[in-house]
Structures are given as structure tokens and as C-alpha cells.
Amino acid sequence: MNIKNRKIIGQVLFIFLAFYLDGLIKWAFLNNMNRGTVVILPQLMLMMIVMLTMRIDNRRQLILYGVIFGVIYDSYYYGIIGLYTVLLPLLMIGIDHFKFLLVKNNLGYELSIYFLSLTFLQSGIYLLERMLQQTNTSIFDFITYTLGPTLLWNIVVFFILYIPMNNLSEWLVKYRRDNK
Amino acid sequence: MQKFFSNKKLIILMILIIVTFGLLAVTVNIRDNKKTPPVVQQVGNDVVSVVGGVFAYPTNAVKNATSEFSDLYNTYSENKRLKARIGELAQNKAKLSVVQDENKKLKQELKLDGTLTDYTTVNASVLTRSPSSWQSYLTINRGQTSGIKKDMPVMSGKGLIGRIIEVDKVSAKVELISTDNELNDKFASEILGDSKNITGVVSRYDSSTGDLVMENVNSTKNIKKGQSVITSGLGGLTPRGLYIGKVYGIKKDNYGMTNSVYITPAAELRNFTVVTVIKSSVSGGN
């Protein structure tokens, strides 16, 4: 197996790991079912995907990742297909399109891009679910009790995990940089 | 050439929007109306859940360990309280087995095969919880092969926690009773009164207080705080006698017309890793 395929398998494995961690963290630590209106949604898979999108230059590969992981996420966690399936590839194309503006990856840039993607994704999901009458939460409740806490939690986690995630994603994509 | 490309982008956008809404509408319809999702989705979910089991077992072990730690913290006061009730329990247990036996014999006399109170159970462990604000689902590691069907009620140790919403071959999704969803989370239930039982429908969850709300109550005259609420067995696949919680209070609704009974749920919706799926012997749903 050549190095390229091995790197791709590595990328897929780590995205999957982050995918499972999303559900398990929600289940084990953020499982507020009895009391409390605040909803925190861990989005580690998005974190991993944003980091990889910043480094992978092949747009076709990105779209493929987006669609496949989007379908799996929707089917396994939401039971409705069409939320992540559409929003995730769109987001990745968006990042890919504008990343030439960034001179060099650093914490500040990636944090703000992650912040924007998270806001885009959660708002998109809210709008779609609202339109399909899966929820009757008002927009203010959504911002106060879901979007706000989710952003806060995830940004803090991103901040903590940035250095290992940065090294990991560099390592997972690195051979492209060498060949160029 | 330039024009051609911009057209292409427009077409892609159009197709994307059509596909999005098509997919969403179709899957929501399938979830609400069909017994099971398409086979492809079932197999996909099963594969993901089987692999997910590898990660779920250590997580559940950690969860159990932490809840044991918090249990240890209030062991003393709990022990005192429990000791007081243990004599009562033994007596009730003996009485229950006698009454159950008698009930069985009487049913045989009457040639009754199954009544609303008869059910069998399937235990399942929880694999994960959806990181989603409006689909509060648990994924469990039992499915069609264990005889689970859509809409079956699910209990944790102490009380009702939700209902099966999607069944795959070896996994299923449970919609929690605390879901803020207009369509699905309704349980026909009754309050055990002194003389007469009062029926109603547990139809809402008040997320600010953590209480379940029972509506369509026929009369509120004899309802007292602390009375037990159970399922009444009148709605489809739910048998009679599953414990939901205790009455907390009565409030008028916004228009002052109907009364809502607020119920403190019995199930601690936090510290459990194993759930029980209830299979009613009388299949009213089909």
C-alpha cells in the first residue's frame, strides 16, 4: 500500500474516532436530561474535519469526505438524512474556497474558522429542523440555550486540543506538502 | 464560456436544494410512518453501532464508576431511609407473589390469554446519545433480532424514560420522554387515586422545571401531591402499570381553561447505562 492510501486511511480513522467521541461525550459528561435548559453539543468531528480541510488541497476528496461522513452522522445520530449530508460538504467547499486568503495556519485563524463553521452548521440545522417542524424552539431560545453554550464549550475544547490536533492533522496530510 | 460556467453553478445549486429537501422530507416521512427505515440505512446504522460498541463499553464503565462514587457520597442518609422501608418491602414482595399467582390462576379459569398488564422485557445497554438538541435519542444495542418494534416503551431502573423510535437489525433508537417534540412523546396514563383512578395523557415536558406535563385530565378534584402516575395501557404498544412518576402539582394552562398535572419523573435520566424495553403481550398497535 502506498503512502497516499495509508494517509487517507489514517484520516478516515481519526474522523471516525471523533465521530464516536461526539456521541460518547454527550452521553457520559453532558447528559443533562432531567434538569436544565442548556444544551451543549460536542462537535469534535467538525473540529477534525475543519483542521483537515485547512490542509487538504484536493477538493474532490473533501466533498467525498463531507458527503460520506454527513450521511453517517445523519443516519446514526439524527435519523433524518439531509442535515449534515448537505451542510458539511458545503462548509468544506466554503473553507477550501477561502483558505487561500490565509497566509499560514495558526491558532487564531483556525479558531475563527471553526467558530464560523460551527455557527453555520448549527444555525443551518436549526433552520432546516424548524422548517420541517421537528422543533418549535424560538430563535432566541436557540441562540441563548443551544448555540451560545455549544460555541463556548467547543471553543474552549478547541483551544485546549489545538496543539495535538494541529500536529496530528499535519502528520495525516503531510506527504502532499513534501511532494509539492 | 464564462456564461456556461455560471449556469452550471446555478444548476448545481438548484439540484442541491431539491436533493436536500427531497431527502429530508422522505426520511422524516419514513421515520414517522414506516415501521423500519430502508434496509441500506438499517445495515449502515448496525455496522456503525457494532463498531461503536467497542468505544461504548469503556465509556459506560467510567460512567458507572463515577455514579458509584456519587452514590457513596450519600450512602449514610440513604441507608437509614432504606432500612426503615426494608421490612415493608419483604412483606409487599410476599403479598405480590401470592396475588400474582392467584391472578394467573383466575386468568386461566377465565381463559384470558393476555391482558393489558402482561408484558415481557428485553434488557439492552446504551451505546451513545445523539449530540443533537432536538433529537434526544439514545442508541441501544438490541434490535429487530431481539423482537423490538417501533413505539415500544423503554424503562430505566426506576421509571419510564422513553419510546423506541427507530429499529434496525441489531440496534435501535430510543426517543427520550424529555424530548420537546409535538408529534411523538405522548403516553396514555392514569393517576392512582384513593377511590377512582384519573386518566389523562402525558404529552409534554417542561424543560425549565424538569417535569412531565399530563393533559386532557378528566377531573382534578381528587388529585393530591405525591400520588403515583402509571401508564394506563390504552395507547397502542404500551402495557398498563409502568411507573412514570409522582404528582407534583396542578396548574391551569395559559388560557385558564384546562388543567395540567405536573409530574416529577421517577427515572433519574442521568445515571444509567442499561435500559429495559417493554414488549406488551397484547399487541394493540397492530
Q: What is the DSSP string of A9-26?
A: HHHHHHHHHHHHHHHHHH
> CB A135 to CB B133 under 8 A?
yes
Domains of chain A: total: 1
Range of the domain at A138: 3-179
**Exposed / middle / buried, residue A104 (Cβ in 10 Å: 0-12, 13-18, 19+):** exposed
Higher-confidence position of B8 and A75: A75
Q: For B272-277, what is the mean pLDDT?
A: 86
pTM above 0.90, yes or no: no
Mean confidence (pLDDT) of chain A: 86
User: A146, A39 in Cβ contact below 8 A?
Assistant: yes
Alpha helix stretches (DSSP H) within chain A: 3-28, 44-53, 59-73, 84-98, 107-131, 139-141, 148-173, 175-179
What is the reported pLDDT for A82? 86
> CB B130 to CB A146 under 8 A?
no
The count of other CB atoms within 10 Å of the CB of residue A133 is 11
The CA distance from A27 to the nearest CA of chain B, in Å, is 5
What is the reported pLDDT for B267? 75
Label residue B285 by pLDDT band (50, 70, 90). very low
Tell me if chain B has a CB within 8 Å of the CB of A42.
yes
Label residue B5 by pLDDT band (50, 70, 90). low
User: A150, B134 in Cβ contact below 8 A?
Assistant: no
> CB A137 to CB B180 under 8 A?
yes
Architecture of domain B43-73+113-286 in this structure: Beta Barrel (2.40)
Q: Which of B129, B137, B171, B271 to probe by mutation at the A interface, max A CB count within 10 Å?
A: B129
Please provide residue B266's backbone torsions phi and psi, each rounded to the nearest 5 degrees.
-75, -35
Task: Dump pLDDT digits (tens) for A11-63.
Answer: 999 999 999 999 888 888 777 655 567 888 899 999 999 999 988 888 899 99
> CB A24 to CB B56 under 8 A?
yes
Q: What is the CATH number of the domain that holds A166?
A: 1.10.1760
Q: For A88-102, what is the mean pLDDT?
A: 87
CA terminus-to-terminus distance, chain B: 60
Domain boundaries, chain B: 2-33, 43-73+113-286
* pLDDT at A118 > cutoff 90: yes
Lowest mean pLDDT among A19-23, A81-85, B1-5, B67-71: B1-5
Tell me if chain A has a CB within 8 Å of the CB of B9.
no
Q: For B188-212, what is the mean pLDDT?
A: 81
What is the reported pLDDT for A19? 92
> CB A36 to CB B176 under 8 A?
no
* pLDDT at B104 > cutoff 90: no
Tell me if chain A has a CB within 8 Å of the CB of B14.
no
Q: CA A4: distance to chain centroid? A: 23
CB-CB neighbors (< 8 A) of B133 in chain A: 39, 41, 135, 137, 142, 146
**Exposed / middle / buried, residue B127 (Cβ in 10 Å: 0-12, 13-18, 19+):** buried
Q: How far apart are CA B146 and CA B161, in angstroms?
A: 20
Altogether, the residues listed in chain B come to a count of 286
Label residue A106 by pLDDT band (50, 70, 90). confident
Q: Which of A18-22, B2-6, B73-77, B184-188 has the highest mean pLDDT?
A: A18-22
What is the reported pLDDT for B286? 41
**Chain A stretch 70-129, residues whose beta carbon is closer than 8 A to a beta carbon of chain B:** 71-72, 75-83, 85-86, 90, 125, 128-129
> CB A80 to CB B208 under 8 A?
no
Q: Which of B57, B133, B175 to probe by mutation at the A interface, max A CB count within 10 Å?
A: B133
